[in-house]
Amino acid sequence: MILHKGKYLDLISEDGWEFVKRTNCSGIVVIVTVTKDGKALFVEQFRRPVRAQVIEWPAGLVNDKTPHDPESMETAARRELLEETGYEAGELALLAEGPVSSGLSAEIITFYQALDVTQKGPGGGDDTESIVVHEVPLREADLWLYEMGKKGYLVDPKVYVGLYFLKNTNQRGE
């Protein structure tokens, strides 16, 4: 049963559970990216629910802009990477997928690793976003994230999941 229907989210009650479900997309992609010169690409943006600047991997919704012309997960990952960071992936490797917060949300995220990336523009997001791109040497990422936390930024835990993939998989996500 739908308890509340919002513009982008529904609050649902089912078998004693209350949870939210997005109504404006068919999935979520997270793009773990390292440049050819070894820099991790993080994005920073203000997130209203936590009232803070948050450090994240580039990410976004699938089919949020083209509901009548469905896009694949990979197409969305390429689009979001370019919009948010200005980088284009030569190849994407599927890393994993799973729930974001299985007790609260129906969302499933799909992680990709962007390979052979080339800078094509400035990034920063679309007209509705104000994204800052951070290029951080991968070998310094842990310390940089720690320092950002000390400065009051929130670090999305998915950042650490992405770093795990980078440290524990080969260049093709295998």
Confidence at 167, pLDDT banded by 50, 70, 90: confident
pLDDT category, 141, cuts 50, 70, 90? very high
Using CA atoms, how far apart are residues 42 and 58, in angstroms rounded to an integer? 6
Q: What is the pLDDT of residue 128?
A: 84
Query: Phi first, then psi: what are they for 165, rounded to 5°?
Result: -60, -45
**Is 28 in contact with 59 (CB distance < 8 Å)?**
yes
| Second CATH level (architecture) for the domain 25-168 | Alpha-Beta Complex (3.90)
Residue range 153-163, pLDDT digits in tens: 999 999 999 99
**Average model confidence (pLDDT) for the chain?**
93
Instruction: Please write the tens of the pLDDT for every residue from 78-104.
Output: 999 999 999 999 999 999 999 999 999
Residue 141 corresponds to which tokens in the numbers above? 């990422």
In the chain, the amino acid numbered 143 is L
Query: pLDDT tens across 128-140, in order?
Result: 889 999 999 999 9
pTM above 0.85, yes or no: yes
- Sorted by sequence, the CB contacts under 8 Å of residue 149 that are 6+ apart come out as 155
Q: What are the residue ranges spanned by the domains of the chain?
A: 25-168
CA torsion through residues 160, 75, 88, 133, sign: negative
